[in-house]
Each structure stands twice: as C-alpha cells, then as structure tokens.
A and B are shown apart, each in its own frame.
Chain A
Amino acid sequence: MSEQTKTIFSRPEGLQETVTHYCPGCTHGVIHRLVAEVFDELDIRERTVGVAPVGCSVLAYNYFNCDFLEAPHGRAPALATGFKRLRPDMIVFTYQGDGDLASIGMAEIVHAANRGEKFTTIFVNNAIYGMTGGQMAPTTLSGQITTTCPAGRDVSQTGEPIRVSEMLATLNTPAYLERVSVDSPMQIIKAKKAIKKAFQYQVEGKCFSLVEVLSTCPTNWGKTPAESTQWLRDNMMPYFPLGLCKSPDSKEGN
C-alpha cells in the first residue's frame, strides 16, 4: 500500500472471510456486520460466545469470528442462560429471528428477560419464517400474505402480531430494550448505536439487553430489495414503532 492510499473501510475482525448464504437484499448481512463492529469497538471478540437459532441465521457461526453454540429451535436464551451463569466473565449473545424467538421460543425469552439474565439478544424481526419458505410468523402483519395465510393474515383467527419489545417491557425486571431498523443508512447508524449500548450494558453486568431489528425478506415477501425496504417503512414501522422501549436507568420507557 502506498503512502497516498489509506484504508477507510475493511472487514471487522469480528467477521470471518467467507461467502454468504443469505439471499440478495437480505439485511442479516448488515446486522451481522454491526454486531461484529461492536465486538471490535468494545474489544470483546475473544471472550464472546454467540448462540445461533434455528432459522435463516442458523449458520451465523460461519460468519462471526467468535465461539458459537447452535441451539434447538427457540432455546437460544436457555443456552445463553446456562453459559452466562457459569461464565459471567464472558460475553454471551443470542441471535434470533421472529419465528424462533416469538413463537417456539417465547417462554425461554420471557423467562430469561424476567430473570434479568446478563446476556444480549439480537432479535431480527422480518414478519415471516424465512428458512422454511415464507410461512406466517407471530409478527406477520394483519392482511400480510404468506404461504400459510395465502388470503392474508386473518387476525380474528390467528390473533394480532406480537410486539415483543413492548411485551418484554411490561416485566418489572430492569432491562435495556430498543427497536431499530436497517432500512436506510441513517437507521443503520442508529441500530449500531443501540447494539453497542446493549453489549455495553452486558460488559457492565447491568441487565438483560435486547435489540429488535426490523428487517426485510425480499425472497419470501416476493419483492425487490428496494421495494422491501419501502414496504418495511410503510407497513412494519407503523405497527412496530422504533425507539427505546425500556432502559435500566429509568423505570419508564419512552
């Protein structure tokens, strides 16, 4: 490299050099990168253990450059609980989708949050089951078409979509809960701040922390990446409002 050139963008140490399996336009890649950047900035990579879910991000361990456990469907918070209880000196995070966390794993996330387990959850909400090919999730919006609600989600039969962050915020136990989005550069910067804050709280041993990231699924939504981000803004954001849901520093959320 000559003296005139300068590296201004490179792969964070927290990510491995590998080819992605995620679909074009999928935002998992962006979220992975944000988490990895936080590893670097907080210098925690060498003492971090991730817990992968079942879902599209089941192979997250192929991308993150840290130790990983692969959990049964929905049980990542249980694995994280066991690990962190025995190794409070280490940094533990779960990376879960909405089917994994809000459907089959609802009991595990609620109780882990309520016990105030000192780990971090990155909760990727794209309102659909991705890996199995686009079925209805607990977060699927009213009227949204999926392969298991081909006429659109009928909330009179399947209930209203679950707002996980708000629900967890009702628990009395202190926690850091924030909903962010990765639909635009500005939102990505905000998401990074929230993810960093979540890990920072864990480093301090303060509380359970969860960042809900609104994400897209162009493949199963049947949209282009650009249409997808627009659909997220038009449909998801009104129902899943962005912002702080709960902070350990104040009893009330925003």
Chain B
Amino acid sequence: MAKVLMKGNEAIAEAAIRAGANNYFCYPITPQTEVAEYLAKRMPEVGGVFLQAESEVAVGNIVFGAASTGKRVFTTSSSPGISLMQEAISYMAGAQLPCVILNIMRGGPGLGGILPAQSDYFQATKGGGHGDYRLLVLAPSTIQEAVDLTMLACHLADKYRNPVMIIGDGMIGQMMEPVEFPENYTEPELPTKDTWAATGAKGRKPRVIKSLFLDPYKLEDNSVVLYNKYQQMKKDEVRFELYKTSTKNKVLIVSYGTMARICQTVIDELEEEGVSVGLFRPITVYPFPEAALEKEATRKNIDTVLTVEMSMGQMVEDVERAIARRRPVEFFGRTGGIVPTPDEVKKQIKELIKKKHGAKTRQSTTKSKKKG
C-alpha cells in the first residue's frame, strides 16, 4: 500500500480499525479530539460502534462493559481525561479485561495546558489508579511507529487480558507524517476468549467479570495472577531502540517518544562536531527495558547517562533504578508544553562533558600528587 500523509491522531484511529478494534468510546479533549472526529466518520463505514459519552468517567466504564463482551475496544483521551478514567482502568486490570487506551499527553498537573508534554509517565507506568496492577505501556516516536504500536497494543491487550496504554505527547497526535498500513494484517494466534467473556450462561455455569474479592486470600490470589502476567511481560515484551551507540560514546542519552527524535538530531549534529553520543530509546516504558539499559549504560566508555524528558524528570527514576548507581545519571527536561530544541539539549551535553572532563583532570592531579 502506498504511503499516505496522516496526522498522528488520525493514523492511530485508522490503525485501531485495521487491528479490528471496531468499538470506540470517547469524550472530546485537546490535543486528541481528531481521533474522535475521524472515527465518528469511519466507524459507520466498517460497521463498528462509535459513541461519545457524557464524561471520561463514563467512557472508562463503557469500555469496561464493552470489553466484557470479548470484543476489541479502544478509547483515547488526554491527561486530565485519563485521570478520570483511572477508576475503570483499575477495575479492568483487576477483572483482567483487555482494552487499548491512548493518552496524547498535555502539560499538567491540573488543567495544565494543551501543548505537548510527557508528564504522565508516572501515572502510566506506576499505577495511576489504585491497587496492585500495571499497564503495558508503549511509547511511539514517529507516526508510523504509532500505527505499528497501536496494532500491536490490540494484540498484546488480548494476549495478556490487560489494559494496554499508548502514550504519545501532543506532537505525536498533531504532527503529520507519511504512514503505511500493513496489507493483509495477521496476528500470532491468541488464546480463546470463550473461557471468560460474558456471552450468556447457555449450557454452562454463569460467569462473573469482577474485581471484588472479599476473601483476602482470594484477592491475594488474584493479585498473584496479575503479578505473574507482569513478570511474563518483562520476559517477553521489552522493546527498545539503540541509535548510534558505539564504544566511542562518552554520553548515553535515554529518551522516549518525540523527545527521543529530538535527541537523534542532537546526536547527528554532535557527531559532525566530533562528539560521540548514543541514544537508548525505550519503546515499552512498562515493562521498562532495565537489563538492556544497564548493559548499554555500564559499558566502559560511558561516563555519564543523560535522561531527557518533556517533564520535570519522571523516567529518570527508572533509569537510576536500572543502572543502580553504577554511572552518574543526569537529567534535562522542559515541561508545561515547552518542547526542548536540539540546540538546548546540545548545550546541556556539552556542559556535561566539560564538567566531567574538568573533574577528571582534577582527579588525576590528586592521584599524581599522592604518588609523588
């Protein structure tokens, strides 16, 4: 199929349809409303279900009800709306229901702003709602990748019977890039839904889809089942990309989403100036690619790890955890809707190298003094 120029929001919407998520519920919020507008037109064409509900609280719970049928369900929102969906997300995780949720993140906290940000990282990867649960979280950095990951998200949600979240910042939603949809899309085989979906108690015992377990032992059992799924995800679903990592790198950048693309430009420009920097880009931010990052960050040649985010520093905690103090972890970020320019990031890296270099010189001086 030929490449078409599409806005991220529209491309993601189309990708969901291509992956068979023909059931979509929404409430308008900038900067992702184009998903709803696109699907309002497109769902009737494919015989799907489209419904704009009264609030994101309702949307989350309509998704809950819809997912109980065993069919693929998709919803989208932006930061404040995602906060309102947390109730249903927690319940769905507890009841082991699959669904795909897109968060086109804007600046927060509170009503915040409408411009791009990555400040919902904690919410997406550490819980958001109450209870012992996790979401599988994917973070695309191009529109094509947003398409591919949306389709993958539909598969993974079913595979693990767990909500999957795609986090993109406002740029991913609003930007246009050429995209290609796979022809004759097929998926690896999935376990049957006949064992859990509510389809009517015909010729079988009634089924209950619930997250309520008043007996603490049963609730603990359920939490263990969930925990085991998350362990399995850690084994099988970790995804990341390396860009220009080599034994020459002094600095390793860790960055995701749009921010990672900006860092790629930084790396290209620094390369021309003779400064070698590599990029580690998590694609799954939960499960976080900790083992791979540890390996890359603790190579002999790496002096410093720099985490760059469009937030006040949230992923940096996962980076620190993965490296476990074996390398200094520095952070640079802008937030509130400000997207750092390559020049800003470049300046930070140069200062870091200068600082590091200065420190080393001092160290060696001390050493030689001792020797003498």
Chain A residues within CB distance 8 Å of chain B: 16, 45-49, 51-52, 58, 61, 64-72, 75, 78-87, 90, 107-108, 110-111
Contact = CB atoms under 8 A, between A and B. Distances in A.
Interface string B45-82: 00001010111011111111111110101000000000
B55 A68 contact: no
A48 B66 CA distance: 15
B68 A69 contact: yes
A78 B61 CA distance: 5
B48 to A, nearest CB: 10
Interface stretch (B132-140, B162-170, B196-204, B325-333): B196-204
Contacts of B350: none
Contacts of B55: 107
Interface string B199-232: 1111100111111100000000000000000000
A75 B211 CA distance: 14
A65 B203 CA distance: 12
Contacts of A85: 23, 49, 51, 62, 66
A71 B69 contact: no
15 contacts: A48-B200, A49-B200, A67-B208, A68-B198, A72-B87, A72-B91, A79-B65, A81-B53, A82-B63, A83-B65, A85-B23, A85-B49, A107-B55, A107-B57, A108-B61
B40 to A, nearest CB: 15
Most A-side CB within 10 Å, residue of B58, B61, B91, B209: B61
A83 B68 contact: yes
B70 to A, nearest CB: 9
A46 B198 CA distance: 11
Contacts of B58: 75, 78, 81, 107-108, 111
A45 B205 CA distance: 12
Nearest to B23: A86
A66 B203 CA distance: 11
B65 A81 contact: yes
Interface of B: 23, 25, 49, 51, 53-55, 57-69, 71, 73, 87-88, 91, 95, 198-203, 206-212
A67 B57 CA distance: 24
B181 to A, nearest CB: 24
Contact of B65 (A45, A51, A61, A111): A51
Top 10 closest pairs, chain A to chain B, by CB: A82-B65, A79-B65, A82-B66, A70-B210, A78-B61, A82-B62, A46-B202, A75-B61, A111-B54, A67-B198
Given A47-B202, A70-B212, A82 B67 contact: yes
A86 B21 CA distance: 12
A81 B62 contact: yes
Contacts of A82: 25, 61-68, 73
Nearest to B22: A86
Contacts of B62: 78-79, 81-82, 85
Nearest to A73: B87
A58 B212 contact: yes
A78 B65 CA distance: 7
Nearest to B91: A72
Contacts of A65: 201, 206
A68 B206 CA distance: 7
A46 B65 contact: no
B23 A64 contact: no
A101 to B, nearest CB: 14
B205 to A, nearest CB: 9
